[in-house]
Structure 1
C-alpha cells in the first residue's frame, strides 16, 4: 500500500504537468480538444492524490513503522483518533494534505465549470496545475512521506504531545481549506490577466470561491486560537506569534477581496483592485506556508527545519508571487477600471473598508518580517511583540469598526450619509447606554474598556438595525414585517450575521482583557482561595495512567456562599514517556459566557502545588463570534444569486400579437 501511495503521488505530479501545459496551449491556439483535456486530467489528479493520502493514513492506522514518517510521529499505544489525525501532524503529511485540498478545489472547478467560457476554464485549470506541479515536486524531492526504514523499528517515537488533541482534527484542515481556497481566486485572476479581460462571468465565479475560502479560514483561525488557549495552559487567546500572523494576514486581505468582489459584481467597478487583491491574498497564504515550513521561525506551529525545504519554498514564492505581479504590471494598463461612483456611496464605504484592511495587513506584515530581515542583513536579533501590534493594528481597526454599520445602509452609486446616520441613531443610543453602564456600574472599568464595549454593541445593534429597516418594522404591521424579513435575500442575512459576529468577538476580547482576574499561589489539599468573588477549594492530586502517558490530576471544587460543594474541574500535568515531554492540561469551567481557568505548576514539598488561576469574563464570545461569522458566510453561500457558475441568459419571451377582430 505504501508503494502504491508513492507511485500515485508520482502519477499525480505527471498529470499536474499535463494540466499546466495542454489546456493553456489549447486556449492560446483555439483548439477545443486540447482545452477539454483539463477537466478529466484535473479530476484524475485529485483521485490519485486522494489514493496517496489514503495510503499514508493506512500506514498510520496500522502503525507501520517501516515508514520513516510514521516512525517519527506515531506510537502503537497512541489512541486511534490521534493515529488518524497524526497523518497531517507533521511536515510531510501536512504538505500531502495541502496538495490533496488543492487538487480537490481544482476538481470542483472542473466539475462545476462546464458553463464557463472554454478559454477561461482552460486557463484557470492550467494555473491550478502550475501550483500543483510546484508543490508535488517539493514533496517528492524534499518531503517524501513514504520514505522507508530498513530494518523497520519495533516502536515509534510518538506524536508531539501538544498535537495529541481533537484540535488537530479540525484546525489544520480548516486552515488549509482557507489557504488553498484562495488559490482558485488567484487562478481566476491570473487567467483573466492572461486573456486580458474581465467580464461578468469572472466576477460571478470569484465571489463564491472567495466567500467559501474566507469561511474556512475564519474557522481555522478561531479553532487554532481556542486550541492554544486550552492546550498550552497559558490562558491567552492570541500571542501575535509570527505564524499566527501568517494566517491572520490572508484573512484580512481575503476580507478586503470579498468586499471588493461585491462591488465588482454589483456595479462592475474596482476590477483592477479585485484582481490585485486576489493575487495578494493567495501570495500571503504562500508566505504563511514558507514561514511554517522553512525553519526560519521557532514556533509551536513550525514543522520543518531543513534549509533545503525553505529554499525550495522560497523559489515557489518568487515564481508565483513575482510572476503574477509582473503579469499584473504588464496587463493592468490594458484593463478597464469599471464603473464610476460617488465617494459617499456603498461602493465608497467598501473602498474605505478595503483601504483600512490592506493597511492593517501591511502593518502586521512589517511587524512579522522586520525581525527576520534585520537578522538576515545585520545578524542582530530583535523581537516585535504585542505592544507594537496592539498599538498600530488597533489604531487602524477601531475607525474601521466604527464605519462598518454604515456600509449596508448606504445606497449604491450615490448615498446619503446623514440619512444613514439617522437610521443608526437607535444603535448609537444602545452603544452609548452600554458605555455608561460599564463606567458607572462595573468596578475597575476604564475609559478604553467602556469604549470597546460601546464599539461591540455598536456593531451588534448596527447589524440588527439593517435587518429591521429592510423588513419595515415600525412602518408596517408586525405580520407583514416578519413576512418581509423571511423573504430577504440570504446574502443580507449573511452580511448581518458576519458583522454581528465581529461585534461578539470584540465584546469577548474587551471583556477578558479589561476585567480578567488572575491569581498565582501555592495550595495544599483542603485549602481554599477566592477569585472574582468565587471560592475554590483544592482537593489534592491523584495519579492516572493514560494509554501512552501518565498524569497527576488536580481536583478543584467551587464552593457556594452557603459552604456547599458545587461544580468540580480537573487540571493535570501529563508526561509522555516516548517523547520525554510534559504537558499541561488546563481545567476549565464555563459559566455563561465566562470561564474559570486553572493551570497546575510545579509540585512542592509537603504536598503543596503551584496553581495559576484566572477568571475570564465573556471569553467564549471570542470564538462564538467566529462561529457566527462562519454561519454568516455559509448563509450567503446558499443565496441562489451566488451559486457557483456563470450567469445564464433568460430566453426572451415574445408577447403574442393580438388577433384581429372577427369581421
Structure 2
C-alpha cells in the first residue's frame, strides 16, 4: 500500500513507536494553528482600538505580536526536530531528506522546500512584528497599533494559505524507511544560509509596507514618520544585499557556468525589491529632512513589498522555470497571486484616496540635493520595472500571444546597464549638493580631484588593454569616480583645518555618514568588478586526456588524473589538475562531477583558486569517446571584488543602522494622540 498523506490541516495522527517524537511534531502543528488565531486577534483588536481611540484595545497588539512570534518559533523548532531526527512519518521529511545526508543539509532541508520555507517566511514576518513591539516604545500609540495590525493581517493571509494548502506537518499513514533526499543543488553551504538572509530582506520590507498603510490610515506623513521607517527599510535592504551576494557566489562556484549573474527569474525576483528598497531609503531621507516626496515615498514602500510578494509568486507558482524555483503546482500560485492582489490592490486603493492629504511642505530648486535624490529614485525605479518587464514578458507572450519567448542576458544587459551608469555618474555629485538650493559649480569644486582621477583611471585602462570593448575602461572610470567621490564627501564633512584635526573628528561624525561612505564605495567597487570580470575574462573549452597540458593565459594547466570518489550521499568523478606558471606550480585543483543516486541528479563542483586580482576556475565535464574529458577553464579577473563590494555595501548599511539617531524617535514630541480629523 502506498504511503498516503493525511490532508486535513486539523487532524492529529500518531504513527510509529516513537510517541515522544510524534508529540513534538503535533505540538508544532498545534502552535501554528494557535499562532493563526493570535494573528487574527492582532489584526482586528488594535486596528479597531486605533479607530475608536481605545488604549486598551490598542495595547493588545504588543503581547499578541510577541506571542505569535513565540508560537511560530516553537512550530519551526518542531519541524526542524523532525528533519534532524529523520522522522519519516512527516511527508515533508520524506520528500526532502535522507538518513545519509550531512546534518547541515538536514537542517537546511527545513527551508529547502515550499512548505518549510513558507514556515520560515511567517516566522520572520512575526519576528519583525515582535521587534516593532520591543524597539517601538517611542512610536505613537495609534501608529504602532496600526502597524502591528497590518503586520498581523499579512500573517493571517500566509498562515491560512499554509494551513489549508501547504501544511508542513502532514503525516503519512505508512512511513517509508528512508526519504527522497534534498535537491542536490541545495546541498551546499552557500544555499544553506542564502534563503534565510534573503527572506529576512523580503519579509523585512513588510514593515515598510505596514508603516505606509498605517500612515495612510492616519492621513499623516511627517519627518518623524520618515525617521521611523528608515531603520526598518535599511535592515531589510542589508539582509537582501547579503542574501543576493550569497546567491550570486553560490551560482558562481556551484553551477559551473563561470558567471556570477544570469538574469534568472528568481535572481530577478530578489533584485527588484532590492532596487526599490534602495530608492525608498533615499526617498525617506527627503521626507525626514525636508518633508517632501511624501506620496512618492509611501508608494515606494507599497511597491517594495509588492515586488517581494511577486518574488514569492514567481518562486512558488511553477509558471516560470528556474533552477532556483520550488517545483509546485500552479494552483498554489493562484492563491499567492490572490494574496498579492488583495494587499496590493487594497494598498493602492487606499493610496489613491489618501494621496491628496500627503501635502509636501518642502520647496526645492532644480539644482539641489532633493532633485538629485529624485533622479536617484527614478533611475532605480525604472531599472526595477525594466527587470520586471523582462522577467514576466515570456509569461505574457505565452498567455496572450500563444508564443514561447525567451528573454535572456542580452536584453537585460542592454536595457539595465544605462540606468546604472547614470546612477553612478550622479551619485557623488548628488551627495555633495546642499538641500533646497545649490550651485553645481560650487558642489563640483571639491570633486575635481575625484573627476581627474576617474578619467585618468579610465584612460590608463583603455591604453593598457588591447582589442577589447569599452566596458573595461568605462567600468574602471565609473568605479573610481564613485569610490573617490564617497571619500571626498566624507572628507568634506570633517570640516576645515589640518589633516590631524580632521582625522580627529572622524570618530565624532554620525555613524550614518560613515555608513553612507562605505555603502557608496561598495557600489563603486562592485561596478568596477562587474565590468572588469565581464570585459577581461579568459575562457577555454576543450577535450583533455590524462597527462595532457594546455595554455590558459599565462598559465599551463595539466590534467594529472581522474578518480572515482565516494561521498556521504553521492559518488563523484574528481580530477586532479595542476596549474603552473613559468614552471612553478601555482595551484593543485580538484574539480568534480557528482551524482546523487537517491535524487538521480548530477551536479558540477567547480575548483577555484581564489586570488585578490584573479580567480583560476576549472570545471571537469563528461568523458569523451576519445578517452579524454571535457574541460572548461577560466581566468576571472577581480571576481572576488564583486562580492567584496556587496559586503562593503551591507557593512555600510549596518554602520548606518547603528547610528544613535535611528534608536531615538525623531518625533517623540509628536506622540500625542492624533486629532480625530485624521481618521
Q: Give the TM-score of the pair, scaled to structure 1.
A: 0.96
CA deviations on 1:583-640 (whole Å, 9 max, x unpaired) are 1100000122310111111112464211000110011111110000000000001111
CA contact (8 A) 1:511 1:618 kept: yes
Name the counterpart of 2:245.
222
Name the counterpart of 1:516.
537
Q: Give the counterpart of 1:146 among 161, 165, 169.
A: 169
Q: Distance in 2 between matches of 1:36 and 1:123?
A: 11
Q: Give the counterpart of 1:307 among 318, 330, 333.
A: 330
Name the counterpart of 2:263.
240
**Deviation, structure 1 residue 226:** 0.7
Q: Distance in 2 between matches of 1:641 and 1:216?
A: 21
1:249 has 2:272 as partner: yes
**Deviation, structure 1 residue 465:** 1.2
Name the counterpart of 1:578.
598
1:41 has 2:61 as partner: no
Quick check: 387-396 or 158-167, which moved more?
A: 387-396
Name the counterpart of 1:654.
none
Q: Distance in 2 between matches of 1:441 and 1:306?
A: 54
Name the counterpart of 1:186.
209
CA contact (8 A) 2:223 2:289 kept: no
**Deviation, structure 1 residue 335:** 2.2
Name the counterpart of 1:418.
441
Name the counterpart of 2:624.
604
Name the counterpart of 1:264.
287
**Deviation, structure 1 residue 58:** 0.3
CA contact (8 A) 2:234 2:281 kept: yes
CA contact (8 A) 1:550 1:576 kept: yes
Q: Distance in 2 between matches of 1:285 and 1:219?
A: 16
Q: Distance in 2 between matches of 1:570 and 1:645?
A: 55
Distance 1:239 1:644, change over 3 A: farther
**Deviation, structure 1 residue 559:** 1.6
Q: Give the counterpart of 1:367 among 381, 390, 407.
A: 390
Q: Distance in 1 between matches of 2:399 and 2:215?
A: 37
Instruction: Structure 1: state its 5+ residue gaps.
Output: 651-663
Name the counterpart of 2:98.
75
CA contact (8 A) 1:116 1:646 kept: no
CA deviations on 1:462-486 (whole Å, 9 max, x unpaired) are 11111222224xx522210111222
**Deviation, structure 1 residue 374:** 2.0
Aligned alpha-carbon RMSD (Å): 1.3
1:164 has 2:197 as partner: no
CA deviations on 1:34-63 (whole Å, 9 max, x unpaired) are 111111011000000000000000000000
1:569 has 2:589 as partner: yes
**Deviation, structure 1 residue 646:** 4.9
CA deviations on 1:467-526 (whole Å, 9 max, x unpaired) are 222224xx5222101112222211111111111101111111111111101001111222
Instruction: Structure 2: state its 5+ residue gaps.
Output: 1-23, 671-679
CA contact (8 A) 2:554 2:581 kept: no
Q: Distance in 2 between matches of 1:481 and 1:28?
A: 52
Q: Distance in 1 between matches of 2:172 and 2:647?
A: 43
Q: Distance in 2 between matches of 1:83 and 1:334?
A: 52
Name the counterpart of 1:592.
612
Q: Distance in 2 between matches of 1:52 and 1:387?
A: 45
Q: Give the counterpart of 2:426 among 397, 403, 425.
A: 403
Name the counterpart of 2:254.
231
Distance 1:600 1:39, change over 3 A: same
Quick check: 479-488 or 70-79, which moved more?
A: 479-488
CA contact (8 A) 1:492 1:636 kept: yes
**What secondary structure is seen at the aligned counterpart in 1 of 2:590?**
strand
Describe how 1:25-40 pairs up with structure 2 within 5 A.
25-40=48-63
Q: Distance in 2 between matches of 1:189 and 1:592?
A: 43
Q: Distance in 1 between matches of 2:667 and 2:54?
A: 25
Name the counterpart of 1:50.
73
Name the counterpart of 2:651.
631
**What secondary structure is seen at the aligned counterpart in 2 of 1:87?**
coil
1:537 has 2:574 as partner: no
